[in-house]
Chains A and B, each alone.
Chain A
Amino acid sequence: MEAPDVDLGKLPITQKKLSLISFSGDFDKLVATFTLATGAAAVGYEVNIFFTFWGLDAIKKKQGRAFVGKGFLGKLFGFFTGGLRSAPVSRLNFLGLSPKIFRYLMRKKNVATLEELVEAAKTLEINMYACEMAMHILGLEKSDFIHEVKGVLGVATFLEISEGGRTIFI
C-alpha cells in the first residue's frame, strides 16, 4: 500500500524528540513500539526508531517467511524469524495462532492493527534506522528492508541522533 501524498515538511517544526530501540520482533512489543512512535509523531515529536536484532524483522520487505539473508545460516535464520506478518506474540503464542487472534480482535474492536500502525509510521515520516552490527550477523542488507528505512547506523550515530530526547528500549 502506498503512503498518501502528504507534505509533512510544511508542518511546524518541534524540538520534542522520542527515540525507540526496537529490539524485539514480537508482535505485541512491535505494536507497543509503533503505537508509541505514531502517537508521539502525531502530537509533534520527532521520532526515531532504531531496529536491532529481532526488531529488524519488522522492516523486512518480505513480510512472511522467506530465505532473506546471506549465507546458509543467515537464510535459515531469515526463514525462521520471518517478517512482520509472521511475528509471534511474546506469551501464549500457540504456534502462531495468537497473532491471528490478536489481528482479528484488533480489527473487530476498531484498534489499529500492526500493519496499519506501520503504514501510519511511514506516512508520518518517522525516522527508521537499521542496526549495522545485527545486520552483519544475520547477513542482511539495506536492500532487504522497506525503502522507508533511512539508513544503517551504529551506536555512536544513534546516540547522536537521540541526544536531547527520551529513549525507550522495547
Chain B
Amino acid sequence: MAIFKLDITQEHCPMTFVKTKIQLSKLNPGDVLEVWLTEGEPLENVPKSSREQGFNVLEVSHIEGAIHKVLIQK
C-alpha cells in the first residue's frame, strides 16, 4: 500500500473533481490518496462522490484555515 498526495487547493470546478478522479484511477487497489482541498464544494463533494464511486474515505480532517485533508483508499 502506498500513499500519494494531491493538492487541489488552488484548483476550481471541475478540475478539483477531475484531478482527483484521474489520480485515483492511476492507483492500485489498497493505495491511499491524500487530497488537500478547500472548504465549500470540494470539501462537500470530493468525499461524497468518492464514496459513491466505491472508494473508501478513511479520514476527513482540518489542516488550517479553509484547508482540509481527505484520505481516500482505492
Q: Of the candidates B11, B18, B53, B54, which one forms a contact with A124 in the assembled complex, judged by CB atoms under 8 Å apart?
A: B18
> Which residues of chain A are near B55, meaning CB under 8 Å?
12
B11–A42 contact, CB under 8 A?
no
**How many A residues touch B, CB cutoff 8 Å?**
25
> Which residues of chain A are near B20, meaning CB under 8 Å?
42
Give the interface residue-count category, chain B.
20 to 34
CB distance from A8 to the nearest CB of B (A): 5
A157 within 8 A of B: no
B-binding residues in A (CB < 8 A) = 4, 6-8, 10-12, 14, 35-36, 38-39, 41-44, 109-112, 116-117, 120, 123-124
Chain B interface mostly: helix
1/0 contact string of B25-63 vs chain A (CB within 8 Å): 110000000000000000001000100111100000000
CB distance from B50 to the nearest CB of A (A): 9
A44–B52 contact, CB under 8 A?
yes
A110–B22 contact, CB under 8 A?
no
Q: How far is the CA of A106 from the CA of B45 in the complex (A)?
A: 23
A39–B17 contact, CB under 8 A?
yes
